[in-house]
Every structure is written in structure tokens, then in C-alpha cells.
Structure 1
Amino acid sequence: MPNHDRPAPAGDTSATPPDYWSFVQAAQRRISQEFPDADLDANRLFLSLNRSSSTAVYDFESTIHRPAGGTWSSFRLLLALWVSGPLSPNEAARLTGMSRAAVSNLTGTLVGKGLLRREASPDDGRSVTLRLTEDGLAKIRVAFRAQNERESQWAEALTDDEQHTLVTLLEKLMEQRERIGARARR
């Protein structure tokens, strides 16, 4: 990683804000001073993972989904229904990583746009099943193609072996969540 200048002191608004990687370096210095026993490698891993993920998601939303009249959340819900078929709102929330309330709010918007239908659940008359409409199916196909093209552009930074290694490592981290009792959205 390139050596970056030290970020401006807190409260100094005259300087331009540091880039993210300079912030990580500054965070590492500060943490090591206040918490000498801190696991700096773990901290850097999750600062970097979080920043990388949020940067990619922002890029996808701002270059693909918003210009097409959608959002990252709507893409995730439409994709879950496209991949899995009709789902209950609870199943949709679990598969998308969204809260049940977020799925409910988003469903209303997507029903209003004609992309989803709410149907009475065949198993429980008090519940609903979410299903893509023909317009919803067409929308997710177009959105997926654009999304996948952008994903490929991002992934070009890594060799095929590096991509495989990264996926394997992320899957290993996700397996750890059960061992440590990490909470997941329900």
C-alpha cells in the first residue's frame, strides 16, 4: 500500500479530507496508542472489508440502479425472487439480509410499480407470498445484466485465482459467525 500523508487533525476543516486508506493508517496509529493490546490486523481487515463493500454498493446503486429507476435494495429483493421463485416476506428478508420491515416497505413500492404481486399464501391465509410480475421479471433481467457487467469491471483487478481465494476466505469468515454466535437478521 502506498505511504499516504497523515490526515489533518480532528476539527481542522481547512485541509482536504484524507482518502480512505490514509484514514485506515491513522486509525491504526490511534488504536495502537490507546489500546496497545488491540488486534490491529482484525481491525484493518474489517475496516477494509466494510469500506470496500460500501464503496462497491454505492457504485452499483449510483451507476446502474438509480438511473434505471431502482435502488440497491429493490435489486436485491427482485434478485431473490428471480433466483428462488415466490417467497414469503420473512424468507425474502432472510435471503436479502434486510429487515422484515424494510422488505414490507419496499414491497409496497414495487407492487405500485407493477414489478411484484402480493398473493394470499396457499399455506396460511393470514400470510402473503411475493411473486415477480412479467414486468418485474423483465426488470431484473436487465438489471442483472448491467450489474454483472459492472461486477466484472470491478473483478478485473484480481486474477481468477485471487477471486477464488477471496471468495473462499469470505465464506470462511461467514462460517465463523456460527462459531462465535454472531447475530444475523431474521
Structure 2
Amino acid sequence: MPGRRSITEAERLAALKLGGLPVRREQMAAVANIHRAASTVRHHLENSVLRGSDLTWTAFVVLWVVWVGGESETRHVAEEAGISKGTLTGVSRTLESRGLLRRTGHPTDGRLVLLRLTEEGEAFMRRVFPDFNAEEAFVTSQLSDEECRDLADGLRRVVLQVEQHGEERRRSLLNGAEPAPRRSGRRSKG
């Protein structure tokens, strides 16, 4: 499991640290556990079913997006996969070198690149996805089918909240200003 503390210990330490601060603890726990669950599941899948295929989570997600959606522009694949276009370029080149993905120029706009699975990529996904899904069933095995549906519905509502109202909220929090450019977190050497 990622991290050195159990989920129970992390929650206990957060409660102690926050003490009397006026925060919404249930919402904090929900968001923290979304992150922790996503990290834990990703780690498990990379180190089990994806390890045998020598795939990272990101590479698998790119294959999934193109497998399900068919031939797509790179910008749309990056957005659906939740990665930058730069990251997608590296991942797609690796998948192309393995014969799973084909990158081609757009027929009417030379600035755009299209991605599609090769026949080998299609066969690969048909072969690997049942094992991947078996691990999805494993990681959710303590939940009933109804609880899985409820969890998926709740998470879908979280995503929709951000998709539908996130931009407005960001503008409000920034008093209408554009967000500052992202930084790597490193300080300049000057």
C-alpha cells in the first residue's frame, strides 16, 4: 500500500492535528480517501496485472481511452486520460514502438495527431482487460454490487460537480484573475 501509515492512522493523525479548526471533516475525509483509494488501486494494478505486460497505469489508460473511443486526436486522449499532452507524446511513442498504437497526422490539419490501436493493440486489450477487470473485482470485493453502484454514482457526482461548476468556482476564488502558471515546485537558482 502506498504511504507508511494505514488509512486509520492517517485519519487519526489528521483529527489530532486539526483540533478545533473549523473544517468540514466529512468532506475532508471523502476527498482524502478518494486520493488514497486511487493511489492504492493504481499501485496494486501496476504491480499485479500490468506488471506482466510491462505497462504503467498511464500507458494502460491511454490504451483504454483509444480502445473504447476509437481513433482520436491526441489532445482529446490526453484530456480523457488526465495527463498533459507532453506526457501523452512520450507514452504514445513508447506504445507505438511496441506495436500497440499508431500515430498518424490528421488528414485536414497537419498540426494535429491522431491515435488508434493497431491490430496487435486491439488483441492486446481484449487479452489483458479481463485480467484487469478481475483485479477491479478484487479491490472492490468488500463491497456488494449495490455498494459498488452507489460508490460509482457518488464519485460520478463529484466529477460532475467539478466539471460543471469548477471553472466558476476557480474564477471566484481568484477574484476573476487567471491562475498563475504552474511551477514545478522547485525554487529558482537565482
Q: Same fold (TM over 0.5)?
A: yes
Alignment identity in percent?
28
Number of the residue aligned with 2:88: 103
DSSP-derived class of the 1:67 partner: helix
Task: Tell whether the 8 Å contact from 1:24 to 1:47 is kept in structure 2 after alignment.
Answer: no
Equivalent-residue separation in structure 2 for 1:66 and 1:156 (angstroms)? 21
Alpha-carbon separation, structure 1, partners of 2:27 and 2:150: 18
CA contact (8 A) 1:32 1:40 kept: no
User: In 2, are the aligned partners of 1:28 and 1:44 still within 8 Å (CA)?
Assistant: no
- Alpha-carbon deviations, 1:92-143, whole Å to 9, x = none? 1011111111111101111111111111212312322111111111111222
Matched, 1:51 2:36: yes
User: Given that residues 32 and 38 in structure 1 are in contact (C-alpha distance below 8 angstroms), is that contact kept between their aligned partners in structure 2?
Assistant: no
Letter in 2 for 1:75: F
Residue 13 of structure 2 aligns with an amino acid whose one-letter code is A
**Stretches of structure 2 lacking an aligned partner (at least 5 in a row):** 171-190
1:7 corresponds in structure 2 to none
State the aligned residue count: 165
Structure 1 residues 95, 32: CA separation in 2 closer, same or farther (over 3 Å shift)?
same
Alignment of 1:137 onto 2:151 = no
In 2, the alpha carbon distance for the partners of 1:79 and 1:54 equals: 18
Alignment partner of 1:27 out of 10, 14, 20:
14
Between 1:119-128 and 1:75-84, the stretch displaced more is 119-128
CA RMSD of aligned residues (A): 1.6
TM-score by length of structure 1 reads 0.83
Q: Could you state the TM-score of these two structures normalised by the residue count of structure 2?
A: 0.81
Post-superposition offset of 1:63 = 0.2
Q: CA deviation at 1:84?
A: 0.7
User: Which shows bigger deviation, 77-86 or 120-129?
Assistant: 120-129
**2:181 aligned residue:** none
Stretches of structure 1 that go unaligned for 5 or more consecutive residues are: 1-16
**1:65-105, Cα deviation, whole Å (9 max, x unpaired):** 12211111111011111101111110110111111111111
Q: 1:3-152 to 2 correspondence within 5 Å?
A: 18-33=5-20, 36-152=21-137
2:175 is matched with: none
